[in-house]
Amino acid sequence: MENEKEVKNPPVPEKEERVTTKHSLKLGNTKLDYTATTGTLFLREHKDESKIKAKIFFTYYEKSGVKDKKSRPVIFIYNGGPGSSSIWLHMGAFGPRRCKMNADGSAPKPPFEIVDNKDTLLDIADLVFVDPVSTGFSRAADLEHEDEFHGLEKDIEAMGDFIMRFCSQQGRWMSPKYLLGESYGTTRSAGLAGYLNNEQGMYLNGIILVSSILDFGTARFDFGNDLPYILFLPTYAAIAHYHGKAGKGTKQSDFLSEVESFAVNEYLRALFLGTALPEEDKLEVAKKLADYTGLSEQFVLDCNLKPSIWRFTKNLLKEEGYSVGRFDGRIKGRDGERAGDHPETDPSHSATAGVFTTCFNDYVRSELNYDSEKLYLVLTGRAHPWKFDHEGKYVNVSDRLRQAICRNTDLKVMIANGYFDLATPYFATWHTVNHMPLTPELQKNISQTYYQGGHMMYTIDSERAKLKADIVSFIKKSSNKK
């Protein structure tokens, strides 16, 4: 009797994980019922759809009882880093549940608390919070080659593929579609606008940029690049004004208008002339810089009229023994010693990191029932070094956004700026927008809003409510749905 050949069972295709839970939220006198779906979506190789290249973790909030998804906007939301998960916008700004902070955005004492978010955007749109590869629970299929996703272009491609596959799975191609990114997430959004439009034929209704950076030349304090000193100055002044070190007795708006005018006139001329600047003019500029920044004239002169961000945050409140935050200059911290040109840490990051990490790790497991033993990577160095693919020049994606607006003239852009944000200063965004060569008519497609907060202005109760109101107005005007 011949031996029968061994029959091997074919491998079982791996399935995407999905966990669905039902919830409700009271917004004023209205009860909002919604479904939350957490899980993974597979990204597949373009040349071979059978091969999985990454597993993207997401949380999808969908209002219950909506019969026609075509009439309901959907917003894809993510943070930046590079290397950041989406928990900041998820649990701080727009999700139906949020970390409870103190009203002014400072950190409460542990243990922390999760509360209903009356400022969620779920009442006006369905929300998809997305973690890029190597953040959150998202991973490359081949961990040995995960660095292939760690770069400007590959990140845009991966997130664009996620959005298209998600719309196909969930039937959202005909819905009004929005991107909402923060910090480096705004860089990603500008790239995505071009990728989705030009490469895949997906047109967006709107893009919301929170604490925007599109031109990295505006924020790099490198030798020979004087631009950041000019563009950071109004934020230095806003922070000095807040701490009572400058502009005493003057309204913030009037003070900043004066500083902005100085920045683009006398200060710009002084930096342009360099050592050719007459000594008398140099002393006059140093005096005004001291008046506007709260730093001493001698310190400003010692910096050659160019106090960098780290020297400012370390020295503004040095006599009181404090440094101030980069993400939010309102927030103070203590260093081990007063000497030095750089704070030991960013106290404004410390004010949020522990609260958000603790709350989300509990929330995703206890309320969303996503039981994963994997480590949730909140803000990870695994994504570094990040490949910007622009050797010899600063990354600038503003022209990609301009091209997307020119191709889709109905595309609207809203930019949210915090006055006390030293990571992505508001005046740098002003400069970037004003250097996008759009026609006067298309310039109207871009609007900017301002808040009395920092990089994460939404941690402050009053500013989160204002940000929501501004976004609701923006979506109503741009969704093209009656």
pLDDT digits (tens, 9 = 90+) for 301-337: 999 999 999 999 999 999 999 999 999 999 999 988 8
pLDDT score recorded for residue 1:
45
Residue 218 to residue 189: CA distance in whole angstroms: 18
pLDDT score recorded for residue 188:
98
148 Cβ contact partners less than 8 Å away, ≥ 6 residues apart: 140, 154
Domains located in the chain, CATH noted? 18-217+353-478 (3.40.50.1820), 221-345 (no CATH)
Amino acid (one-letter) located at 266: E
448 Cβ contact partners less than 8 Å away, ≥ 6 residues apart: 414, 415, 416, 417, 429, 430, 433
pLDDT score recorded for residue 4:
52
Q: What is the DSSP string of 150-206?
A: SBHHHHHHHHHHHHHHHHHHHT-TTS-EEEEEEEHHHHHHHHHHHIIIIIT-PPPSE
The answer to whether the beta carbons of residues 354 and 98 sit under 8 Å apart is no
pLDDT score recorded for residue 46:
82
Cα Rg, the chain, nearest whole Å: 24
| Alpha-carbon dihedral angle through residues 182, 188, 189, 193, given to the nearest 10 degrees | 180
Q: Which of 341, 345, 372, 375 minimizes the C-alpha distance to 357? A: 375
Amino acid (one-letter) located at 201: G
pLDDT score recorded for residue 238:
98
pTM of the full structure = 0.95
With a cut of 70, which residues of the chain have pLDDT below it? 1-13, 390-392, 481-482
pLDDT score recorded for residue 480:
74
